[in-house]
């Protein structure tokens, strides 16, 4: 049940939940599980599982996972190297655990299979995931302000989104 409570706490942007996740070294597998489930949810919600487009499911799920990894890497570099505060102490494991759980709102992307819901749902969950990531970064990097965490996340988000769009345009399957 701890896993489910952590997902709910992360989705509710609860700082105490992120602080707990940050300090629990055993939560790393759970965090990666959230990222994998959110990636699969995106694959189902965007690519679908219908017989005509199984490649889309695999591609979208893989692209979502790669996008998260790029986002996490850029967030680490920007947050730890370019915009640290004096009290910032970076532990990659702590950051990855909190960032992994910040993908919790992405679990709702599975409902993109509902006709007419895909676009609004993906826009909403993207913004929600960004908000969750801001809280995660603030806790993991010990920032004193939410503004610095927001700046770090937006830089990472824009770069990761750009890479995802480019990958989709160049390598993505065509849907007809």
Q: Does residue 54 have a pLDDT over 80?
A: no
pLDDT at 165: 82
pLDDT at 106: 96
The string of DSSP codes covering 111-164 is GGGSTTTHHHHHHHHHHHHHHHHHHHHHHHTT-S-HHHHHHHHHHHHHHHHHHH
Whether residue 102 contacts residue 132, with contact meaning beta carbons closer than 8 Å, is answered with yes
Q: Does residue 176 have a pLDDT over 60?
A: no
Q: How confident is the model at residue 151 (pLDDT cuts 50, 70, 90)?
A: very high
**Average pLDDT rounded to a whole number, residues 125-149:** 95
Task: Locate the domains of the chain by residue range.
Answer: 2-171
Q: How confident is the model at residue 52 (pLDDT cuts 50, 70, 90)?
A: low
3-class SS of residue 107: helix
**Average pLDDT rounded to a whole number, residues 54-66:** 83
Query: Phi and psi for 105 in degrees, rounded to 5?
Result: -60, -20
């Amino acid at each position: 049940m701890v896993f489910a409570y952590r997902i709910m706490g992360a989705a509710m942007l609860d700082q105490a939940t992120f602080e707990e996740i940050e300090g629990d070294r055993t939560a790393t597998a759970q965090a990666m599980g959230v990222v994998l489930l959110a990636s699969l949810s995106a694959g189902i919600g965007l690519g679908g599982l219908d017989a005509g487009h199984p490649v889309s499911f695999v591609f979208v799920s893989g692209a979502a996972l790669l996008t998260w990894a790029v986002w996490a890497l850029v967030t680490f570099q920007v947050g730890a190297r370019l915009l640290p505060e004096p009290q910032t102490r970076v532990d990659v494991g702590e950051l990855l655990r909190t960032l992994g759980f910040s993908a919790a709102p992405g679990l709702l992307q599975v409902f993109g299979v509902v006709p007419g819901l895909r676009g609004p749902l993906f826009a909403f969950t993207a913004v929600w995931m960004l908000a969750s990531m801001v809280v995660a970064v603030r806790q993991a990097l010990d920032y004193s302000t939410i503004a610095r965490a927001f700046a770090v996340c937006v830089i990472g988000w824009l770069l990761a989104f750009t890479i995802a769009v480019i990958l989709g345009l160049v390598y993505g399957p065509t849907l007809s």
